[in-house]
Amino acid sequence: MPAPAANKRVKNKRISRNIIIGSEAYTLPPLGDPSRPKGIPDDHTKRWTVYVRQPQGDPSLTTWLNKVQFKIFNTYENPLRTCENPPFEVTETGWGGFNIDIRLHFQPLSGEKAQYRQHFLQLEKYGDEKQQATQEASGLVRAEFLEVVQFNEPTEALFEALTSEDQWHYLQMPAKGGKKAAMMAAQMGGRPKRGYPNGERSAQLPDKGGDDVPFSQEQEQALIQSIREKIGVVERELEEETKRRDQTEKRLKGLRAELGHEAAQQAAQQASGDRSRRR
């Protein structure tokens, strides 16, 4: 078989990857506080980090992501910050939020042009009351967004990389939990095997399970089915509850009307009493 090419595309295939684009901002100790780190401009109130990460447990993002550039506010020194390797992040101090332009540069084997994303550096509390209370108490404001990167008809070389077991090797940990676990971990890098039983490469789970295939599409379907059934149960319960609520509301309305009627009568009596007294 010829080596996978970086200039030939795989037709009718699309592979997506999720990434997290986010920022975290901590409140700095105020000026004059002995615990305030030295050398920070007096007007800076926050230390922040902006980052591009992969969701926990996802395949390694460096398979396809080569480098990330963050274009931060232009008053900072060297505002175009380049990260050639993970962690893809920039940490700075400042006083105000602003939009950060993020350039995602793909691995050369992908043949893809760079893509652009934006992230607003959120320094101040936001969200509902409860969220703001948590942010206040912890002194941390985090703003994260899940972004999808799609590879449409990837190059052969990228397809090969995005369907390879190697992408999960970074997750591999010393095997815990006895001989069986150790053997499974050794066999498949501690994670479900992908691809079709005939060896065809794919980002999909295999159709059917087996001794060495703990997760399969069949099992996934069974799980989906059982979740659907449970959704049905919850929906029926919800319907019942809604009926009950409607009935209660009707009764409440009735009671209110009765009460209102009584209250109106009382008011009328009182008013006529007032009038007669005034006369």
Give min distance, CB of 23 to ligand SLL, in A.
Answer: 13
Q: Does the protein bind ligand SLL through residue 170 (CB under 6 A)?
A: no
Q: Does the protein bind ligand SLL through residue 78 (CB under 6 A)?
A: no
Report whether 165 contacts 172 (CB < 8 A): no
Tokens of 159: 């397809």
Window of 10-18, 91-99, 182-190, 244-252 that interacts with ligand SLL by CB under 6 A: 91-99
Q: Does the protein bind ligand SLL through residue 97 (CB under 6 A)?
A: yes
Q: Does the protein bind ligand SLL through residue 98 (CB under 6 A)?
A: yes
Q: Which residue has the tokens 């959704």?
A: 231
Q: Which is nearer to ligand SLL, 18 or 99 (CB)?
A: 99
Give min distance, CB of 125 to ligand SLL, in A.
Answer: 16
Report whether 63 contacts 19 (CB < 8 A): no
- Integer angstrom CA distances of residue 167 from 89, 90, 147, 193, 268: 21, 25, 19, 12, 81
* Whole-angstrom Cα Rg for the chain: 30
Report whether 125 contacts 132 (CB < 8 A): yes
Binding residues for ligand SLL, rule CB under 6 A, total 9
Cis-peptide, bond into residue 30, ω within 30° of zero? no
Q: Does the protein bind ligand SLL through residue 96 (CB under 6 A)?
A: yes
User: Which among 91, 95, 100 is positioned nearest to 121, based on CA atoms?
Assistant: 100
Please tell me the distance from the alpha carbon of residue 32 to that of residue 26, in angstroms, as a whole number: 17
Give min distance, CB of 98 to ligand SLL, in A.
Answer: 4
Window of 58-66, 96-104, 125-133, 175-183 that interacts with ligand SLL by CB under 6 A: 96-104
Q: Does the protein bind ligand SLL through residue 120 (CB under 6 A)?
A: no
Window of 70-78, 134-142, 158-166, 267-275 that interacts with ligand SLL by CB under 6 A: 70-78
* Binds ligand SLL by CB under 6 A, chosen from 31, 55, 84, 95: 95
Q: Which is nearer to ligand SLL, 30 or 177 (CB)?
A: 30
Please tell me the distance from the alpha carbon of residue 10 to that of residue 141, in angstroms, as a whole number: 42
Please tell me the distance from the alpha carbon of residue 182 to that of residue 170, in angstroms, as a whole number: 17
Q: Does the protein bind ligand SLL through residue 73 (CB under 6 A)?
A: yes
Window of 73-81, 154-162, 169-177, 242-250 that interacts with ligand SLL by CB under 6 A: 73-81
Q: Which is nearer to ligand SLL, 96 or 260 (CB)?
A: 96
DSSP H or E run through 261:
helix 217-278
For 3-52, the DSSP string reads PPPSS-B-TT-EEEEEEEEEEEEEEPPPTT-TTSPTT--TT--EEEEEEE
Give min distance, CB of 39 to ligand SLL, in A.
Answer: 12
Task: Give the x-and-dash track for 5-44 against ligand SLL (CB under 6 A).
Answer: ------------------------------------x---
Give min distance, CB of 80 to ligand SLL, in A.
Answer: 14
How many secondary structure helices (H) and strands (E) does the chain include?
4, 8
- Site of interaction with ligand SLL (CB under 6 A): 41, 73, 75-76, 94-98
